[in-house]
Structure 1
Amino acid sequence: MTGQPYPEPAASPTATEAGREPSLRPARPRWRETLGLLARNPTAAGAATVLVLVALVAVFDQQLAPEGPNEISVEDRLQPPSTEHWFGTDDLGRDVLSRIILGASVSLRVGFTAVGIALVVGTLIGLLAGYYGKWVDDVLMRFMDVIFAFPAVLLAIAVLAVRGPGPTNTAIAIAVVYVPIFARVTRASVLGVREEVYVRASRSVGASDLRLLTRHILPNAAPPIIVQTSISLAFAVLAEAALSFLGLGTQPPNPSWGLMLAEGRGYIELAWWIAFFPGMAIFLVVLCFNLLGDGLRDVLDPRQRTAMGGGR
Structure 2
Amino acid sequence: MTAPATSQSPPRLVSPVPTVIARLVRRPTFILSVAVLIFWLIAPLAVAVKGLDPYSQVGAAIQPPGAGTLLGTDHLGRSVAIRLLAGAAPILTVAPAATALATIAGTVLGLTAGYHRGRIGDDILMRSFDIINALPGIVAVLLVATVFGHSPMALVLSIAIFFAPIVARTVRSAVLVEMGKQYVEAARTQGESTHRILFAELLPNVTPAIVVEATTRLGYAIFVSAGLSFLNLGAQPPSPDWGLVVSQNRIFIQTAWWSVAFPALAIISLVVAINLIADHLAEVLGR
Task: Report if the CA contact (8 A) 2:47-2:85 is conserved.
Answer: yes
How far 1:276 sits from its partner (Å)?
Answer: 0.8
The alpha-carbon deviation at position 57 of structure 1 amounts to 2.3
In the other structure, the counterpart of 2:258 is 273
1:96-245 alignment, distance < 5 Å: 96-137=80-121, 138-245=123-230
**1:284 alignment partner, SS class:** helix
Is the 1:44–1:294 Cα contact (8 Å) retained in structure 2?
Answer: no
The whole-number CA distance in structure 1 between the counterparts of 2:44 and 2:131 is 36
Determine if contact 1:167/1:249 at 8 Å carries over to the other structure. Answer: yes
Match of 1:249 in 2: 234
Give the residue type in structure 2 aligned to 1:224.
A
* Segment drifting more, 228-237 vs 51-60: 51-60
What is the one-letter code of the residue matched to 2:82?
S
CA distance in 2, matches of 1:200, 1:83: 69
Paired residue type of 2:216: I
Aligned mates of 1:156, 1:238 — CA distance in 2: 12
- The Cα shift of 1:126 comes to 0.7
Correspondence for 2:27: 41
Structure 2 Cα separation of the partners of residues 181 and 49 of structure 1? 28
Unaligned segments of structure 2, at least 5 residues: none
State how 1:56-135 maps to structure 2 within 5 Å. 56-64=42-50, 67-73=52-58, 75-135=59-119
- Residue 74 of structure 2 contacts residue 259 of structure 2 at CA under 8 Å; is this kept in 1? yes
Q: Deviations over 1:139-193 (max 9, x none)?
A: 1111111111111111111112222223222222111211110010011111011
The answer as to 2:59 corresponding to 1:55 is no
- Output the amino acid matched with 1:258: G
What CA distance in whole angstroms lies between the structure 1 residues aligned with 2:178 and 2:42?
37
Q: 1:215 to 1:61 in 2, by over 3 A?
A: farther
Letter in 2 for 1:36: A
1:24 touches 1:197 (CA, 8 Å); kept in 2? no
Higher relative contact order (CA 8 A, sep 6+): 2
- C-alpha contact (below 8 Å) 2:65/2:72 kept by paired residues: yes
Give unpaired runs (5+ residues) of structure 1: 1-9, 303-312
After TM superposition, give the deviation of residue 60 of structure 1 in Å: 4.6
Q: Which sits farther off after the overlay, 222-231 or 251-260?
A: 222-231
Flag the 1:276–1:93 CA change in 2: closer, same or farther, 3 A.
same
Instruction: State the shift of 1:63 in Å.
Output: 1.6
Q: Root-mean-square deviation (CA), in Å?
A: 2.0
**8 Å contact kept, 2:12–2:204:** no
TM-score when normalising by structure 1: 0.85
**1:233-270 per-position Cα deviation (integer Å, ceiling 9, x unaligned):** 11111111111111111110111000010112111111
Shift of 1:278: 0.4
Equivalent pairs: percent with the same residue? Answer: 35
